[in-house]
């Protein structure tokens, strides 16, 4: 009885859904790297804190608000968080000669601070938030959860908004300019400092949304951002450093691969598979799929 055939659509749906969430997270990382040329090790903390804030709002206000309202509150907060983070943790290091390493270390230390604060404030137990959308749809033998569709839709919406911003707005184009040639951007008058701040702010928002979208299924915990973080790293490398569409493609590919592994093998194999993929990329094609650098 070939039941494995029936699992394919499930795997695809799960894969595409989680892929879209990974895409958001990876795009945030890619954006920061492209614009500032640094690796932000606190990116996972943005993921975690976005979800925690979402959980905390109803607790703080002692009543529940509809999701759109909560998003409208959390998104600007996270943007500010990322922007301030850039000013305090990243900026002071830019002047030092090996700023790549020092920024890395500082963001790592910051991640420790953020995660420990989350541990102290929210406690070690995992938290959950209600699904964003309720309901299921039956298509013959398969069940599709509306939440999954909703997550995918919101993620794609965010990605489209980002694409629009980068291509059609003046600040977005300025951001691309900084990523492509910093000196050139300065020569035409772009305020690089502001752009760096925006890029961190936007990446924080992307990570936060990813965290929120994943929270109903995967829960929220203080160290919960590290695994998604490392996955987004692999995605960015697979897609190719500097390639927007590469990152998105890689996210979906790896999301589907992960879903397949979960359904056909065991959940335990997920992380080793990611590791093997990473090593494979580095050995076979360090440039990634659409790589521009290296």
Partner 1 sequence: MLRVEKLNFSYGEIQVLTDVSFQVNEKEFVAIFGPNGHGKSTLLKTICGLQSPISGSIEYGGKKINTLPVQEIVEMGLVYIAEDRHLFPDMSVSDNLRMGAYNRNARAKESENLDYVFQLFPKLKLLRKQVASSLSGGEARMLAIGRGLMSNPKFLAIDEPSFGLAPNLCLEVFRNIEEIRKRGASVLLVEQSTTLASDYADRICIMEDGKIVFSGTKEEALGKKEIREVFLGI
Partner 2 sequence: MGMIKIGRIRIGWGHAMAMLALVLLLLLPVLMPKNNYLMHFFVLFFIWAVVAEAWNLIMGYAGIFTFGTIAFFTIGAFATGLLSQQLGMSPWPSILLSGILTALVGFLIGLPSLRLKGAYIALITYALHMLLAPLIRRGKPIGIETGGFIWNIASLNFLGYVFPRNVIAPWYYAGLTLFVVLLLLIYWVIRSPIGRAFVALRDAGPLAQSLGVNEYKYKLIVFGLSAFILGVIGAFYAHYVATISDRMLGLDYFVKTLIMVILGGLGTFPGGVVGAFVVIFLYEFMRPLMSYRLIVLGAIVILTVVYMPNGLTGTAEYIIRTKKWKLVGDGFLRRLAKMKKKI
Contacts to partner 1 by CB under 8 A = 170, 173-174, 176-177, 180-181, 183-192, 292
Question: Judged by CB under 8 A, does residue 125 bind partner 2?
Answer: no
Cβ 271 to partner 2 shortest distance, Å: 5
- What is d(CA 294, CA 282) in angstroms, rounded to the nearest whole number? 11
Cβ 140 to partner 1 shortest distance, Å: 46
Geometric angle at alpha carbon 209, from 243 and 256, rounded to 5°: 60
Q: What number of H helices and E strands is found in the chain?
A: 11, 2
Question: Judged by CB under 8 A, does residue 84 bind partner 2?
Answer: no
Q: Which one of partner 1, partner 2, none is in contact with 123 (Cβ closer than 5 to 8 A by kind)? A: none
- What is d(CA 223, CA 126) in angstroms, rounded to the nearest whole number? 10
**Cβ–Cβ under 8 Å, residues 65 and 56:** no
| Stretch near partner 2 under the rule CB under 8 A, chosen from 174-182, 194-202, 226-234, 257-265 | 226-234
Beta-bridge mates of residue 138? 143
- What is d(CA 166, CA 186) in angstroms, rounded to the nearest whole number? 18
| Stretch near partner 2 under the rule CB under 8 A, chosen from 2-10, 98-106, 167-175, 251-259 | 98-106
- What is d(CA 109, CA 86) in angstroms, rounded to the nearest whole number? 14
Count, residues near partner 2 per rule CB under 8 A = 39
271, 287, 289, 290: residue in contact with partner 2 (rule CB under 8 A):
271
Q: Which one of partner 1, partner 2, none is in contact with 191 (Cβ closer than 5 to 8 A by kind)? A: partner 1
- What is d(CA 3, CA 255) in angstroms, rounded to the nearest whole number? 22
H/E segment holding residue 145: strand 142-145
Residue placing its CB nearer to partner 2 in the complex, 61 or 101: 101
144, 223, 257, 263: residue in contact with partner 2 (rule CB under 8 A):
223
12, 56, 77, 102: residue in contact with partner 2 (rule CB under 8 A):
102
Cα 113 to its chain centre, rounded Å, is: 20
Length in residues, the chain? 294
- What is d(CA 103, CA 30) in angstroms, rounded to the nearest whole number? 16
Residue placing its CB nearer to partner 2 in the complex, 10 or 117: 117
Give the binding site for partner 2 (CB under 8 A): 39, 89, 92-93, 96, 101-102, 104-106, 108-113, 115-117, 119-120, 223, 226-227, 230, 233-234, 237, 268, 271-272, 274-275, 278-279, 282-283, 286, 294
């Amino acid at each position: 009885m070939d039941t494995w055939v029936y699992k394919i659509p499930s795997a695809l749906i799960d894969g595409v859904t989680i892929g879209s969430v990974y895409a958001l997270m990876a795009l945030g990382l890619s954006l920061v790297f492209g614009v500032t040329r640094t690796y932000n090790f606190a990116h996972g903390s943005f993921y975690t804190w976005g979800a925690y804030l979402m959980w905390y709002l109803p607790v703080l206000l002692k009543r529940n608000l509809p999701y759109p309202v909560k998003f409208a509150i959390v998104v600007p907060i996270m943007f500010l968080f990322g922007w301030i983070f850039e000013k305090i943790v990243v900026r002071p290091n830019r002047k030092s000669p090996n700023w790549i390493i020092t920024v890395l270390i500082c963001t790592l230390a910051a991640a420790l601070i953020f995660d420990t604060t989350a541990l102290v404030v929210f406690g070690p137990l995992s938290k959950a938030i209600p699904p964003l959308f309720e309901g299921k749809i039956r298509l013959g033998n398969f069940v599709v959860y509306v939440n999954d569709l909703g997550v995918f839709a919101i993620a794609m919406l965010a990605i489209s908004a980002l694409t629009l911003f980068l291509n059609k707005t003046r600040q977005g184009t300025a951001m691309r300019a900084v990523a492509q040639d910093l000196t050139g951007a300065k020569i035409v008058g772009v305020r690089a400092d502001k752009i760096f701040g925006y890029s961190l702010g936007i990446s924080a928002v992307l990570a936060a949304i990813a965290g929120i979208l994943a929270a109903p299924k995967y829960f929220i915990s203080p160290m919960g951002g590290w695994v998604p973080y490392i996955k987004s790293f692999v995605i960015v490398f697979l897609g190719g450093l500097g390639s927007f569409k590469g990152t998105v493609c890689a996210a979906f590919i790896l999301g589907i691969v992960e879903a397949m592994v979960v359904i056909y093998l065991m959940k335990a194999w997920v992380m080793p598979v990611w590791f093997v993929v990473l090593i494979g990329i580095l050995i076979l094609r360090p440039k990634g799929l659409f790589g521009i650098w290296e």
